[in-house]
Amino acid sequence: MTSRQPLHPLTAPRVRCALAVGATLLLGAAATACADPDPSDGRDAPRRSAPARSPAPAPPTAVAERGFTLVATGDVLPHDSIIRRARADATGEGHDFAPMLAGVRPVIAAADVALCHMETIYGADGDYTGYPAFKSPPEVAAGLRATGYDSCSTASNHTLDDGAEGIARTLDALDRAGVKHAGSARTEREARTPAWLSGGTAKVAHLAYTFGTNVNPLPDDQQWAVNPMEPELITSDARAARAAGADVVVVSLHWGTEWQEEPDEDQLALGEQLTALRTDGRPDIDVIVGTHAHVPQAYEKVNGTWIVYGMGDQVAGDMMNYDGEWDARGNEGSIARFTFAPPVRPGARWEVAKAEFLPQWFDTARGRVVDLTSAGIEEGSRAAAVRERVREVVLSRGAAGDGLTMGR
């Protein structure tokens, strides 16, 4: 949790590659001939049997396109208390983050594509710290994978809390755990590459950006290490991903004003700009999911595209707001779930056929994420009150009118 700072210069010239694939199918036909009658002797000449035709090659079998579900969740922000909890949950040495996430595993693991937001970087050799300069245990990555996550956005205002070394340790650990990532990079080539995922028969590109990196400058020789939230860069990246074969482009944005439930002017303006992007009449971005504010924010359909302004924190300790007071909203959030349907015609977009949110809560007393849509939530309980508060915020910009519902 830090104050919002302008982004240090992070841009470097980028080259995007587009792949074109062509195929030609050649069909052959055999010709046959019969002898005409010989008029010289008045008899019909013997007729020769036509040679047997070889069966024509069968046309290639078309693969039926299948839709898919995508879920996205908010900030994973291991404060000191979270690190201690993970140490206690480990059966031996090290840290185990899977138990604290187990409450939402059924939802996450059931999705075809599951996205998280890894706000902090990882430390090493027991050098683990919480706020203000985070260095989390690398076992976080294994916990995320055990929960069912496929990719994490890693661009945040804390991405440079331990310089380029912290980025490398974090991405190395995610790679070892089998979790893809977008938003920060170890090489310039990696910075130019989205996280590629499969959902149904769709090829999904995951991109991520941040409004800033606090007071931490980029290394002089690695100006590409963190993706800045610049409209021109996001536009070029999204179009390059589409040209490279992406059926669905998902953009994670670390943005907004901390502790503010309403999206700020920058969020509204950038959301309007990005959802208006079109190439040959098709939107360049298919969904935007936001993090950073530490509190739940609204969902809204803008220019026909869903924006989740902020999902709140998924994992965090007790949070203090800017007034120096404990703020329960810092442990409240939502899971976004979108069901995509295949295009109705070639060249059309994959449409969101169903849009849902699932309220969640991190119970700091037990150190566990709680799915607030589960059958075990009692009316009148604190959990039920949190669920209602999240619901009101999520629907505060009229998303129910565009079909957003609370999932199960």
Strands 287-291 and 278-279: unpaired
Please indicate whether residue 392 or residue 46 has the higher confidence score (pLDDT).
Answer: 392
pLDDT, residue 26, reads 28
End-to-end alpha carbon distance in the chain = 31
pLDDT tens-digit map of 191-228? 999 999 999 999 999 999 999 999 999 999 999 999 99
The per-residue pLDDT for 56 is: 55
- Asked whether residue 106 is assigned to any structural domain, the reply reads yes
Q: What is the pLDDT of residue 119?
A: 98
Token code pair at residue 76: 């994973």
pLDDT of 170-195, one tens digit each? 999 999 999 999 999 999 999 999 99
**Would you place residue 374 in the very low, low, confident or very high pLDDT band (cuts 50, 70, 90)?**
confident
pLDDT at 144: 98
**Residue matched to tokens 């999520």:** 394
Least confident window among 90-94, 101-105, 297-301: 90-94
C-alpha 175/C-alpha 169 separation (Å) is 10
User: What distance lies between CA 315 and its chain's CA centroid?
Assistant: 17
Query: Between 397 and 18, whose confidence is greater?
Result: 397
Q: How many domains does the chain have?
A: 1
pLDDT-above-70 percentage for the chain:
85
C-alpha to C-alpha distance for 77 and 157, rounded to whole angstroms: 12
Pairing mode of beta strands 202-210, 248-254: parallel
Going by C-alpha positions, the residue among 160, 114, 120 that lies closest to residue 138 is 120
Judge whether residue 339 has pLDDT over 60: yes
4-37 per-position pLDDT tens digit: 344 443 433 333 333 333 333 323 333 333 333 3
- Tell which residue, 166, 160, 155, has the closest CA to residue 191: 155
Q: Is the pLDDT of residue 311 over 90?
A: yes
* Residue 8 covered by a domain: no
Q: Which long-range CB contacts under 8 A does 13-18 form with residues at least 24 apart? A: 14/191, 14/192, 14/224, 14/233, 14/236, 14/237, 15/192, 16/192, 16/236, 16/237, 16/239, 16/240, 16/243, 16/244, 17/240, 17/244, 18/240, 18/243, 18/244
The reported pLDDT for the residue numbered 59 is 52
| HEC per residue, the chain | CCCCCCCCCCCCCCCCCCCCCCCCCCCCCCCCCCCCCCCCCCCCCCCCCCCCCCCCCCCCCCCCCCCEEEEEEEEECCCHHHHHHHHHHCCCCCCCCHHHHHHHHHHHHHCCEEEEEECCCECCCCCCECCCCCEECCHHHHHHHHHCCCEEECCCCCCCCCHHHHHHHHHHHHHHHCCEEECECCCHHHHCCCEEEEECCEEEEEEEEECCCCCCCCCCCCCCCECECCHHHHHHHHHHHHHCCCCEEEEEEECCCCCCCCCCHHHHHHHHHHHCCEECCEECCCEEEEECCCCECCEEEECCEEEECCEEEEECCCCECCCCCECHHHHEEEEEEEEEECCCCCCCCCEEEEEEEEEEEEECCCCEEEECCCCCCCCCCHHHHHHHHHHHHHCCCCHHHHCCEECC
Q: Is residue 30 part of a domain?
A: no
Q: Is residue 275 part of a domain?
A: yes
In a domain, 107, yes or no: yes
Neighbouring CB atoms inside 10 A of 83's CB total: 23
Q: pTM for the whole thing?
A: 0.85
Average pLDDT, the chain: 88
Residue 46 belongs to some domain of the structure: no
Please state whether beta strands 113-118 and 68-76 pair in parallel, antiparallel, or not at all (unpaired).
parallel
Q: Name the residue range of residue 205's domain.
A: 68-406
Average pLDDT in the 373-389 region? 91
Residue 131 has pLDDT above 90, yes or no: yes
Is position 214 within any domain? Answer: yes
Please indicate, yes or no, if residue 315 is contained in any of the structural domains: yes
pLDDT higher than threshold 80 for residue 247: yes
Alpha carbon of residue 41 to chain centroid: 84
Whether 274 contacts 234, CB under 8 Å: yes
| Mean pLDDT of the 125-154 span | 97
Confidence at 167, pLDDT banded by 50, 70, 90: very high
- Rounded to an integer, the average pLDDT of 75-101 is 96
The reported pLDDT for the residue numbered 62 is: 56
pLDDT at 20: 34
The CA distances from residue 218 to 12, 34, 90, in Å, are 12, 81, 35
CATH number at residue 139: 3.60.21.10
pLDDT bracket for residue 64 (50, 70, 90): confident
Model confidence at 163: pLDDT above 90: yes
Average pLDDT over residues 360-370: 97
Using CA atoms, how far apart are residues 270 and 307, in angstroms rounded to an integer? 11
